[in-house]
Structure 1
Amino acid sequence: ALTADRAADARTAALVPEFLLVSGVGCAKNTRVPRSAEYPSDVPALTPTFVRVAWDGGDRDAAVRTDAVDRFHAWLTGRDGLAAFAAAGFRSATGTGHPLLGAGPADTGVLSAAGPLPGAAARTAVDTALSRYRSANGPGRVLYLLDSSGSMRTRWPGPSGGPGILKQSLGGLGDEDEYGVWGVYDGPGGRHHDEVLAFGHHRRADAERGVDAAARVRDAESDPHAALLDALDTMAGRGADDKWPQLIVYLTDDEDDDRLTGQNLAQVLERARQRKVPVDMVSLVAGSCDRGRPAAAVAEASHGRCLDTADDLGTGLHDEVARVGTGED
């Protein structure tokens, strides 16, 4: 939303799809400062693309579905569909000067013909821009805590298991980033984790092979309270002399949440506020991010994010890690 201050509004540019200046006028009565479209010569035009989506079970009644899709496509690209696009304020994708599809004078703030526009941005240019954006704050550090207790056995194999989701997220990290993986479980001598992947710089393929070789389910419980306290202290120590972005990721099935309640939870929340290292709690079960659950509380106290099976865990965690790292996926 634009600022409510008229003076600030007058010197503020809004980046919006052009057609909204024609069809998105439901709030016109609240407009404080009239706006006119600008057409930068180095910004490519975007052509709407017809995409047919599919889903599990979407192949049922295939002939009927295909017929419906074909008829809708014919309508969109025919006279009635183009009239709907024109009424909404869209332009010609191919005509000289990209004229508005609608006949008659242009609406206020919009040019009838925008003039020549460049072609689509090259993939290499987009990749370069993303790489520069991600590395603006320098390399990042990520410490993964992978619940390796016995209850994880059924949530271990495949791309949707704990190691699989972890490996998917490595695409958000680059060669300059530092990261490592702990396997969290109750070990001998009071240990609460072992080192699955040493903290440091890694090529993605090497890191994935390292996780495959060393990560395994243990016949033991886990102690999220002890593991999180140690992780917060470890990351705070690593970041004491620089301002690299940092993140802790805890992948778990929440089976040992009874050890992250009461005073134990209070201690973790206090340490998280002190250390100021975000913690993303990634749960492989439903409801873990509901208000009042330990995972939600830890994420909130540390200014991290909580993800559970209500989210797309692979994509969600990849995006979170990419905010810290300099990867190119």
Structure 2
Amino acid sequence: MSLLLPPANPATRPEQVTATLRDYRQALGPGRVLYLLDDSTSMEDNRVWSGPGRAKDLVARSTAPIGPEDSFGVWGLSPGSAANHTELVPFGRPEPGPARAAVGRAPAVNKNARVLDGLRDGLSELRSGPQGPVPRLLVLVTDDEDSADHQRADVLALEESATEGPPVRVVTVSLRGGGCAPDQLNQRLAEATGGRCLDVSDDLATELTAEVARTGTGDAR
């Protein structure tokens, strides 16, 4: 007796994958994305601040998957007048064109970036909104110069706080070689939160945009 096997499913088309991913994101509800941009003068000195494929361009381009119901913002990590950061794009639902223009105009600042403080504040900001399984993404873009002197105890404390409370994925973008070395801040945060560490060995523009697409609901404004 012969057995009749069901017909094989046709190969899944790319547009089906895209639609499935979009439906999945939308089922979770609007996403929340906060960028932490190292705006210290070393970014300019190291020639990773302005221009195609550099810090500000990477941030602006990667906002493309953020949809009209999603929330996002961009903070500079130099301290402001009353905070550990400067709001380049206040967190909320800004119009994308003006938001990208604001990032493009941002100057490098002659102050040290407050990386650990910015990460703590960013985690708090993302967790302060709707509770439940809301997609949350914290993106750090840096040349790592102001991370060199972090005390190990402070890094471990931040790693612990990153895994407490509502989940937040942390994606770190290091604009220097070796920025994702094991046991360093960038890699530890990425591994602890289910995020990623990207450095100059990666296609940064493509990979960062793909990570944001996992959080944004799409249908960009």
Shorter-normalised TM range: 0.7 to 0.9
Rate the CA distance shift 1:208–1:286 in 2: closer, same or farther, 3 A: same
2:94 matches 1:202 = yes
Q: How far does the alpha carbon of each residue in 1:171-204 deviate from its partner, in whole angstroms, 9 at most, with x for none?
A: 1211111001101114456x32110101112343
3-state secondary structure, aligned to 1:287 = coil
Provide the C-alpha distance between the structure 2 equivalents of 1:234 and 1:209, rounded to a whole number of angstroms.
Answer: 23
TM-score normalized by the length of structure 1 = 0.59
Q: Which amino acid aligns with 1:163?
A: K
Contact kept, 8 Å, 1:224 with 1:259, in 2: the verdict is: no
Provide the C-alpha distance between the structure 1 equivalents of 2:101 and 2:4, rounded to a whole number of angstroms.
Answer: 55
Q: Which amino acid aligns with 1:307?
A: L
Question: Which sections of structure 2, spanning at least 5 residues, go unmatched?
Answer: none
Rate the CA distance shift 1:293–1:38 in 2: closer, same or farther, 3 A: same
Q: Which amino acid aligns with 1:170?
A: T
Provide the C-alpha distance between the structure 1 equivalents of 2:81 and 2:100, rounded to a whole number of angstroms.
Answer: 27
2:102 matches 1:133 = no
RMSD: 2.6
Percent identity, aligned pairs only, is 36
Which of the two has greater strand per residue?
A: 2
The CA deviation at 1:131 is 3.2
Q: How far does the alpha carbon of each residue in 1:191-220 deviate from its partner, in whole angstroms, 9 at most, with x for none?
A: 32110101112343232123224x221011
Rate the CA distance shift 1:38–1:230 in 2: closer, same or farther, 3 A: same
Structure with higher Rg: it is 1
Rate the CA distance shift 1:328–1:151 in 2: closer, same or farther, 3 A: same
Q: How many residues align?
A: 215
3-state secondary structure, aligned to 2:128 = helix
Rate the CA distance shift 1:131–1:150 in 2: closer, same or farther, 3 A: same
Rate the CA distance shift 1:129–1:151 in 2: closer, same or farther, 3 A: same
Q: 2:170 aligns with which of 268, 276, 279?
A: 279
Contact kept, 8 Å, 1:225 with 1:259, in 2: the verdict is: no
**What is the match of residue 38 of structure 1?**
7
**What is the match of residue 175 of structure 1?**
68
The CA deviation at 1:168 is 1.4
Q: How far does the alpha carbon of each residue in 1:86-109 deviate from its partner, in whole angstroms, 9 at most, with x for none?
A: xxxxxxxxxxxxxxxxxxxxxxxx
Provide the C-alpha distance between the structure 1 equivalents of 2:153 and 2:120, rounded to a whole number of angstroms.
Answer: 13
Give the 4+ runs in structure 1 shifted more than 3 A: 34-37, 125-131, 186-189
1:139-288 matches, cutoff 5 A:
139-153=30-44, 154-188=47-81, 191-213=83-105, 215-239=106-130, 241-275=131-165, 276-288=167-179
**Which structure would you say has the larger RCO, counting Cα contacts within 8 Å and 6 or more residues apart?**
2
Q: Which amino acid aligns with 2:169?
A: P
Contact kept, 8 Å, 2:68 with 2:219, in 1: the verdict is: no
The CA deviation at 1:318 is 0.5
3-state secondary structure, aligned to 2:214 = helix
Question: Which sections of structure 1, spanning at least 5 residues, go unmatched?
Answer: 1-33, 46-120
**What is the match of residue 299 of structure 1?**
190
